[in-house]
């Protein structure tokens, strides 16, 4: 097998050929990550969590609500929600229907309401009404995965136990050559190896700000980007193309067994041809 290619197979025996692994590898920034962080801190000195909250519990709720929803929308909903249910004790008693009604505009409101009520009830029952401060305990709450747990630990308690990986952090980390992974947990592992621990919390805020304002998904503004000199993707975008590591991880191409065409059957023949063939037989 040619080196650099990954070949896999489906259960039905057909084969797939994935784009060369080496072509998707992202060159890491030559100068390391600190120049990037310094440049971003200069550009966004006020970078911080945009979700309005007064305490770790409200931050937890706001982060659950922010899934598939903008922070601005969440910030429109949470003042009323927190006025009525400011803590875990109160939130654990609200009915599913009432909570759904309050948070409806954030989308996926049924699941979000279930998660928020479940998390509040568990915090009341297992953690004395206080949001736990460890990754394992946070992950035991309904609706809480690593991203939410990292937000609560980092922003709520100032604890750097991991790196928040949202859509902006994932996209920019790939473009900047810090990972070639696509799954959030694998990206987080790469970032935890590359970014100094004391910068883990700031890193996500900086990349989220930069992703929103400059390095947007469809049209990154490389010509005015403060990271242009460090970014391996910039030459591609500036030339009007995409870097080879941009987009989906692997383009799936049908292998020989998928591509082979079956001989046409009588059923596959157009009706007119079948009629003509029948007429010839009769003669």
**Does an H or E element contain 17, and which?**
strand 15-18
Site string for ligand SF4, 176-205 (x = CB under 6 A): x-----------------------------
Measured in degrees and rounded to the nearest 5, phi and psi for residue 30 equal -65, -35
Quick one: DSSP state of residue 254?
A: E
Strand partners, 18: 6, 252
Q: For ligand SF4, give the closer residue by CB, 132 or 177.
A: 177
| Contact positions with ligand SF4 (CB under 6 A) in 18-77 | none
Q: For ligand SF4, give the closer residue by CB, 143 or 220.
A: 220
Give me the least distance between CB of 186 and ligand SF4, in Å please.
Answer: 20
CA atoms within 13 A on the CB side of 88: 22
Q: Which position has the token pair 């305490």?
A: 55
DSSP H stretches of helix in the chain: 21-24, 34-43, 56-65, 71-84, 88-91, 96-103, 109-126, 135-139, 146-151, 157, 167-175, 184-194, 200-213, 234-238, 256-259, 271-282
Q: Does 214 bind ligand SF4 (CB under 6 A)?
A: yes
Q: Does 239 bind ligand SF4 (CB under 6 A)?
A: no
Q: For ligand SF4, give the closer residue by CB, 7 or 221.
A: 221
Site string for ligand SF4, 216-235 (x = CB under 6 A): ----xxx--x-xx--x-xx-
Inter-residue contact 185 to 224 (CB < 8 Å) = no
User: Which residues form the catalytic set?
Assistant: 147, 166
Which residue among 146, 175, 180, 205 contacts ligand SF4 (CB under 6 A)?
175
Instruction: Give the binding-site size for ligand SF4 (rule: CB under 6 A).
Output: 15
d(CA 69, CA 89): 26
Q: How far is CA 171 from the centre of its chain?
A: 8
In the complex, which residues of this chain contact ligand SF4 (CB under 6 A)? 172, 175-176, 214-215, 220-222, 225, 227-228, 231, 233-234, 237
């Amino acid at each position: 097998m040619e080196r650099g290619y990954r070949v896999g197979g489906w259960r039905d025996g057909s084969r797939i050929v994935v784009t060369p692994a080496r072509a998707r590898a992202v060159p890491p920034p030559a100068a390391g990550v600190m120049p990037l962080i310094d440049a971003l801190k200069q550009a966004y000195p006020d970078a911080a969590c945009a979700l309005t909250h007064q305490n770790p519990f409200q931050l937890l709720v706001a982060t659950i609500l922010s899934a598939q929803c903008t922070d601005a929308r969440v910030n429109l909903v949470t003042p009323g929600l927190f006025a009525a249910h400011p803590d875990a004790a109160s939130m654990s008693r609200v009915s599913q229907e009432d909570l759904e009604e309050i948070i409806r505009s954030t989308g996926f409101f049924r699941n979000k309401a279930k998660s928020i009520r479940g998390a509040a009830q568990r915090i009341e029952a297992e953690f004395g009404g206080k949001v736990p401060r460890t990754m394992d305990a946070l992950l035991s709450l309904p609706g809480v995965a690593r991203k939410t747990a990292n937000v609560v630990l980092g922003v709520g308690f100032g604890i750097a136990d991991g790196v928040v990986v949202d859509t902006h952090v994932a996209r920019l980390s790939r473009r900047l050559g810090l990972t070639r992974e696509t799954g959030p947990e694998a990206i987080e592992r790469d970032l935890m190896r590359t970014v100094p621990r004391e910068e883990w919390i700031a890193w996500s805020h900086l990349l989220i700000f930069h992703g929103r304002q400059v390095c947007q998904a469809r049209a990154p503004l490389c010509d005015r980007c403060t990271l242009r000199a460090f970014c391996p993707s910039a030459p591609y975008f500036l030339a009007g193309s995409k870097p080879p590591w941009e987009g989906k991880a692997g383009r799936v191409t049908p292998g020989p067994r998928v591509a082979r065409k079956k001989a046409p059957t009588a059923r596959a023949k157009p009706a007119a041809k079948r009629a003509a063939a029948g007429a010839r037989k009769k003669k």
